[in-house]
């Protein structure tokens, strides 16, 4: 099966998670981080899911899935331990034209979830096409040692510079950007000299004030 990698804006997007165990908790955690609006359908919840309900971060229907539970949602996440229930949810999702992700069952997935490394707004996703989540996780953990928290600060500097250049109607080439994102810039960011880093990057990209 072929997958097309996208970054989906989840802000306020209505999603439903069927299941209340540890797998469902991981799904919900990622959805909340992305700003989604989440409802969980399950007779029982993990301690963390229950906390999120109490804090009003997610809504909860305290029962098993029944047909019709997917109405009004855009994305469906299935995390139950019953293959028959999972199949029924997937088929309802298909009838409604919804995107469905079923945990550990690529055949009942319209999309799969990569292993994600986040450094602020920088997101790095690793996927094996659903064939080996363990390998995806192992590779993501290797990347964590390289992509340190400095990359959060670097992303903020680059974002600020790009915004300023656009305000000046300056559009550096991709080659100019590649040359500017060099070791000297990284060293400034690593030392926490973010104002100097911004000034340096602007200068490299032709945005230095006259």
Instruction: Convert the pLDDT of each residue in 59-70 to its tens digit.
Output: 999 999 999 999
Please give the Cα distance from 145 to 142 (Å, whole number): 6
Rounded (5°) CA angle 3-24-137: 50
How far does Cα 178 stand from its chain's mean position? 25
Percentage of the chain surpassing pLDDT 90? 85
Pairing of strands 75-78, 37-41: unpaired
Quickly state the pLDDT bin for 208 (edges 50, 70, 90).
low
pTM, two decimals, is 0.81
Please give the Cα distance from 24 to 173 (Å, whole number): 44
Per-residue model confidence as pLDDT tens digits over 98-157: 999 999 888 899 998 899 999 999 999 999 888 888 999 999 999 999 999 999 999 999
Quickly state the pLDDT bin for 39 (edges 50, 70, 90).
very high
CA distances from residue 108 to 85, 93, 130, 167, 195 in whole angstroms, order as listed:
12, 10, 11, 46, 49
The beta-carbon contacts of 133-141 under 8 Å, at least 24 apart in sequence, are 133/104, 139/115, 140/115, 140/116
Domains and their CATH numbers in the chain: 14-113 (3.40.50.720), 115-147 (3.30.160), 150-204 (no CATH)
Please give the Cα distance from 123 to 155 (Å, whole number): 10
Nearest to 19 by CA among 61, 47, 75, 73: 61
The pLDDT of residue 168 is above 50: yes
The pLDDT of residue 210 is above 50: no
CB atoms within 10 A of CB 66: 9
Mean pLDDT for 78-94 is: 95
Please give the Cα distance from 144 to 162 (Å, whole number): 26
**Residues 19, 1: contact at Cβ < 8 Å?**
no
- The whole-number pLDDT of residue 140 equals 95
CA distances from residue 68 to 74, 119, 139, 188, 207 in whole angstroms, order as listed:
14, 38, 39, 55, 56
């Amino acid at each position: 099966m072929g997958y097309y990698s996208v970054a989906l804006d989840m802000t306020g997007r209505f999603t439903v998670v069927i299941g209340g165990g540890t797998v469902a908790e991981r799904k919900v955690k990622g959805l909340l981080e992305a700003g989604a609006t989440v409802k969980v359908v399950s007779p029982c919840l993990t301690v963390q899911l229950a906390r999120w309900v109490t804090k009003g971060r997610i809504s909860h229907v305290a029962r098993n899935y029944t047909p019709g539970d997917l109405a009004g949602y855009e994305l469906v996440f299935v995390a139950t331990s019953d293959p028959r229930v999972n199949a029924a949810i997937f088929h309802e999702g298909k009838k409604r034209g919804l995107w469905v992700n079923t945990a550990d069952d690529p055949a009942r997935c319209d999309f799969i979830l990569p292993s994600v490394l986040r450094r602020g707004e920088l997101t790095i996703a690793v996927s094996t096409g659903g064939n080996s989540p363990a390998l995806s996780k192992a590779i993501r953990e290797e990347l964590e040692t390289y992509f340190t928290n400095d990359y959060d600060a670097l992303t903020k500097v680059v974002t600020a510079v790009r915004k300023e250049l656009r305000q000046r109607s300056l559009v550096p080439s991709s080659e100019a950007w590649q040359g500017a994102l060099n070791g000297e810039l990284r060293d400034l960011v690593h030392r926490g000299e973010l104002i100097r880093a911004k000034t340096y990057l602007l200068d490299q990209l032709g945005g230095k004030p006259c």
